[in-house]
Structure 1
């Protein structure tokens, strides 16, 4: 089994496997920097009241959205139903009132009598 040497920021520093950690004088400065950062970040973090307010705002927004969507769907349904009934009423032609039609009467006419044909001209008597 071989040992893998990985580069570390503390390369070459001796490893102490027991006892109290040694203080090289930098710990106090690092701790002060950490506390300063924590003091600047801590006031901006959300508290339980902030979370509760956010939760109630989100719930109110969700409820308002659900009501708006429901009202929109109902309005669309009623609008389309009204449009359907208006169109179906106009699409049907009113039934015509049956009227008594007059019977067709054909009068038979007498054949026309023919006028007698004109008489041919008579020849003049010979002299």
Structure 2
């Protein structure tokens, strides 16, 4: 008898949310993911878990890379965001090489501020 995955329904629910979310919600999900993975990486470095810290930093950096790649450069704000994303990405690589939680603690407020600003912009847009 095959075992059923108890998280199958939850995973399907998450998948459906992602597939049906509007672009602005997807961006918010990406920011939330980046914050989550940087926090995890900090914890794993404190626990001296090199492999898991590496994986968390890679996932955070993949998200920042995706946000950077999807910028629409016809808007002036995108040029500023590109520089910020490049900075964050460089710092994440440096933190990964050195397994330095201090570097992660330096970029975490920046990612959190980007997320919070995006969330505020979404709320303002809904009111229009």
Identify the TM-score tier after normalising by the shorter chain: under 0.3
Q: Structure 1 length normalisation: TM-score?
A: 0.22
Looking at both structures, which has the greater relative contact order when contacts are Cα pairs under 8 Å and sequence separation is at least 6?
2
Q: Structure 2 length normalisation: TM-score?
A: 0.22
